[in-house]
Amino acid sequence: MYDFNRRRVLRGMLGGGAVTVGLPLLNACLNGNGDAMADGRPMPVRFGTWYWALGIAKAAFVPNKLGAGYDMKPEMEALKPVQQHFNVLTNYTAFRDNAPNLCHFSGWVISRTGTAPMTGGNIPGETVDVTIANQVGRTTRYKMLTASADGNARDTFSYDNPTTPNASEVSGLKFYSRLFGPDFQDPNAPTFTPSPKVMVRKSAISGVLDDVKDLEKSVGADDKARLDQYFTGLRHLERQFDQQLTKPEPIAACKKPGNLKEDTKVGSDVTIIASRHKIITDLMVMAVACDQTRVFNMSYGGNSATKAGFEKPSHTATHEEPWDTTVDYQPTCSWFTRRAMENWAYYVKSFAEFKEGAGSLLDNCFIMANSDHGLARIHALDGMALFTAGRAGGKVKSGLHIDGGATATTRLGYTAMRIMGLDVPSWGTKSNLTSKEIGEILA
């Protein structure tokens, strides 16, 4: 048997520039069982997020039973077909300590950054997906991908730092073009032609890096620190260019989707949001399957979703719809949540049904999902629900209902980091500081 590995390459010259060309590995990449690489290393585990707005209604959502085989209340009914693929985590709290309750903001910011924001629009630091992407996302074409079904590019829950949001892809056509347009390198194509454009950029950046090294010798400590940061960023970019100049390893499951003929529709009706969510999810699944990224964010949103024949959008309904004491929730608000869960079900199903090796793509993913509130009507930051989906290459169990006992939502982000291989002793600040993983879901 040939001695294959994922980075075995041919070196040569093309168009005056040095390029590296990977050997075709196809099925030889995998071991005989299809559950690991041929050299014994595990399949790559990817990390994803999913977001929905306006929380849950406890009476319509929280199962009575804990553990496996739990019952499903009306807001979770759509998830029955995929129950074995996810965990539902209820009764978690986003602690704000002495920070204000910034409506529809504090909850998700705490869950994604670990810190309660002090003012509206104030993102305390990088979000958990970025932390993870900085660790696992440097060897793919995209460090991470972020998309939203809400139709608004600003609808993002991913920040590199307090002032740098990762804008969402909201157009199916543009997302398709970005992923599978002219720059897409089909890993299963028989030939590989490095992009001259990337080669030029790679060449330019190498020159800049040399200049930065020279410049460092003649500046003070503060500027040196800034240059170090700049240098690190450029090195990351350079590595990504390297990746694009390397013949991708064949991936049997990767199939470039057919061209999209129509863009996603504009509108806030739940059916339109669902159609956007479906198109973008399908593209995201293939992007992950084609190893274009190992970190992916998807937002269903739904804060401004509308229902035909009902004059108020979902958020307004949470504040204005009367409480129905016979069922102990607001019926129309619960209707909107059920639509969100239908989309979560589609998201999970899409990854679960995509074959990869001997299992599914979802088997090699860990996806966390969260919302902005518990009960949105009163902007509650307790009683919050979370989800995980996927087995993370066998590290995680699924099909469970866990009661968090009013502990911090940050436990999920911390658990995700540990699963993704980040050796961090704790995560979060003040009362959101945690070093306690959600152990019940770990295999």
Partner 1 sequence: MKHIILSTQVSAFAIAASLALTAGSANAQQAMKEGALGVQNRSIGYVMVFENRSIYQAKDAKTQCPTALNDGPPEQFKKLYPDTGERTVEGTRLAWEGELWNPSAKELNVPYYEVQGKVGRGMNLDGKVGPNDYVDPDTGEKGIDNQIYRTVGCTFNYRDGQTSTLTPQWRRATYNIFVIELTNVDSLQNDDDVTVTTYRGKDRLITDATGNEYLPGGSQTLDTRWGKRYITAFKGKIKDGVLTTEAKDLIMPAASVYAPRDGAPDIIYRDMRFQLNLTDTQANGYMGGYADVWTWYYHSHKTRDSRHQAYGGTAGPTLYRALMKNADAFPDANGQNTAISTALDVKFVHVFVQHPGAQVAGMVNHGTQSAEAAATEARARE
Q: Which stretch binds partner 1 (CB under 8 A): 129-137, 156-164, 313-321, 358-366?
A: 313-321
Dihedral over alpha carbons 415, 349, 54, 51 (to 10 degrees): 50
121 binds partner 1 (CB under 8 A): no
Token pair, residue 38, equals 């041929």
Of the candidates 101, 90, 166, the one whose C-alpha atom is nearest the C-alpha of residue 128 is 166
CA angle 308, 313, 104 (to 5 degrees): 150
Interacting stretch for partner 1, rule CB under 8 A, among 14-22, 90-98, 197-205, 239-247? Answer: 90-98
Interatomic CA distance for residues 192 and 66, integer angstroms: 52
139 counts as binding partner 1 under rule CB under 8 A: no
Token output for 325: 């004491």
C-beta of 336: minimal distance to partner 1 in Å? 16
Distance from C-alpha of 367 to C-alpha of 46, rounded to nearest angstrom: 8
- For 80-213, strand residue ranges (E) read 86-93, 145-148, 159-161, 164-165
- Give how many residues touch partner 1 by CB under 8 A: 24
CA 41 to chain centroid, in Å, comes to 23
Closest contact distance (angstroms) between CB of 311 and partner 1 is 8
Length of the chain counted residue by residue: 443
Residue from 139, 267, 431, 440 binding partner 1 (CB under 8 A): 431
User: DSSP secondary structure string, 108-119?
Assistant: HHHHHHSS--SS
Residue (274 or 381) nearer to partner 1, CB: 381
- For partner 1, which stretch binds (CB under 8 A), given 3-11, 92-100, 281-289, 386-394? 92-100
Least spacing, CB of residue 391 vs partner 1, in Å:
21
> Which one among 39, 223, 269, 320 touches partner 1, defined by CB under 8 A?
320
Looking at 96-104, 149-157, 265-273, 345-353, which segment touches partner 1 (CB under 8 A)?
96-104
Please identify, using beta-carbon distances, which residue of 62 and 94 lies nearer to partner 1: 94
- 101 binds partner 1, rule: CB under 8 A: yes
Interface characters, 40-59, with partner 1 (x: CB under 8 A): --------------------
Binding residue (CB under 8 A) for partner 1 from 319, 349, 397, 418: 319
- The Cα–Cα gap between 415 and 408 comes to 12
Tell which one of 64, 98, 163, 326 touches partner 1 (CB under 8 A).
Answer: 98
Which listed residue (47, 50, 70, 95) binds partner 1 by CB under 8 A?
Answer: 95
Cα 19 to the center of its chain, rounded Å: 31
User: Strand 46-52 to strand 365-370: parallel, antiparallel, or no bridges (unpaired)?
Assistant: parallel
Whichever of 343 and 410 has its CB closer to partner 1, that residue is 410
- Encoded amino acid at 221, one letter: A
Q: Would you state the torsion angle of the CA atoms of residues 50, 56, 61, 62, taken in this order, to the nearest 10 degrees?
A: 90
Distance separating alpha carbons of residues 194 and 97, to the nearest angstrom: 53
- Binding pattern to partner 1, positions 354-383, x when CB under 8 A? -----------------------xx--xx-
Binding footprint of partner 1 on the chain (CB under 8 A): 93, 95-101, 116, 311, 316, 319-320, 377-378, 381-382, 426, 430-431, 433-436
